Amino acid sequence: MTHRYFGTDGVRGRVGKSPMTVDFALRLASAAARVLSPAGGRVLIGKDTRLSGYMFESALEAGFVAAGVDVMLIGPLPTPGIAYMTQRLDASFGVVISASHNSYEDNGIKFFDSTGSKLSDEVERRIEQFIDEPVVTRQSQSLGRATRIDRSRTQYQEFCASTIPQGMDLRGFKLVVDCANGAGYKVAPRVLADLGAEIVPIGCSPNGRNINDSCGSTAPELLQLTVPGVRAHVGLALDGDGDRVVMIDGLGRIVDGDQLLFILANARQADGTLKGPVVGTVMSNLGLEQSLASRGIAFRRAQVGDRHVLAMLNATGGNLGGETSGHILCLDKTTTGDGLISALQVLAVMKRTGASLAELAAPMPKYPQVLLNVSVERGFDPSCEPQVQEAIGRVEQRFGGRGRIVLRASGTEPVIRVMVEGHDATLVKNGAREIAAVVEAAAKER
């Protein structure tokens, strides 16, 4: 049985179009209350900085209160902050209103259970079974209450700061912090400044429409210019909901999620805290796998998506994994991917070793890799298209066994992601373009 509304990370889409409408949010809240807290309880609702967040916040609040669930509204806070605070406040479940790295025209709704973990597929299916049912409205004496608890975000800030070694601070570091005009715009600069770092903030002035707009982890070009321009040691860029981070070294070069994972794995192996294999994804650079293998560190690949990485870590007893995008899971520190906490772990390695970010990342070579997005109609499957498979075969033959090709449907957008990686940059670039063109042509023919 497949999901009707839930994707790889909650419900997401263009605001005003199904399913991202006020009516749907109201029905979703009512359905979720039936499944996650049928006897009442409390829900924590947080959001990023999108203009439409106010609208969906009100709709969800109405649906939960009508179903007899007390609502705590914490305002803009990173997704991992909601996961942490759901558990900290002993809520029955938590809700995040965010479309992560997408533009402000999109929005989404995702859930955490009482432990701060994402819902299982089975629980999401049970919620979907009630979405088309009439909205529940209890009698007046059984309605829920709504309370704003904005000041509670300081508890999350204190938790983030506690994840670096006791007694350590960040004095002596000059950091440029790009919060993508998103959910981390308050907490990230405050945490880093409280730890003693000199902060240069950019992307910290949200207006409801500029989230992820030429800033943040998906567009770090301004950060790359700013870091060497102000002679900072490091730059860090979160995405709109704060669960991803990429970093910039002192010369303005990107250090992506694969490189950050290498740095953390190397450091944890050295201090004896690394458990199980490191888990990446099918998109992780081959250089990461080879570099870890040369150090005797096991590496496993999961399907793309933090829930798949988490599932493999749990199955193998690992405590460190992540994606090229910068979605890093440090399970010895927190339950979910957290961009700020991941950055703090890297900064702690720099502080302890005295090495620069560039020096820590240098031992990991990166194979040339190209990722192209091809717009398609939802449901298009390139594995069922003979011409696409023929194109893949042609490109693979040119690599002679020294490259990788991965095609996958995005879980958040109607696109096919074409990833080509290999030893020769020209072959990689030309191969990606060739396959993407065939995918585009096949999609138009359908």
> Which residues are part of the catalytic machinery?
100
Long-range contacts of 62-65 (CB under 8 A, 24+ apart): 62/26, 62/29, 63/25, 63/26, 63/27, 63/28, 63/29, 63/30, 63/33, 63/135, 64/29, 64/32, 64/33, 64/144, 65/143, 65/144, 65/145, 65/146
> How many whole angstroms separate alpha carbon 295 and alpha carbon 363?
11
Tokens, residue 348: 């702690």
208, 94, 177, 361: which is closest to 353 by C-alpha? 361
Is residue 341 helix, strand or coil?
A: helix
Tokens, residue 241: 């909901």
> How many whole angstroms separate alpha carbon 237 and alpha carbon 217?
5
> How many whole angstroms separate alpha carbon 324 and alpha carbon 246?
9
Q: Helices (DSSP H) in 5-106: which residue ranges? A: 22-36, 53-66, 79-88
In the block, tokens 């860090």 appear at 236
C-beta separation of 250 from 234 below 8 A: yes
Q: At what angle do helices 425-445 and 386-399 cross, to 10 degrees?
A: 170
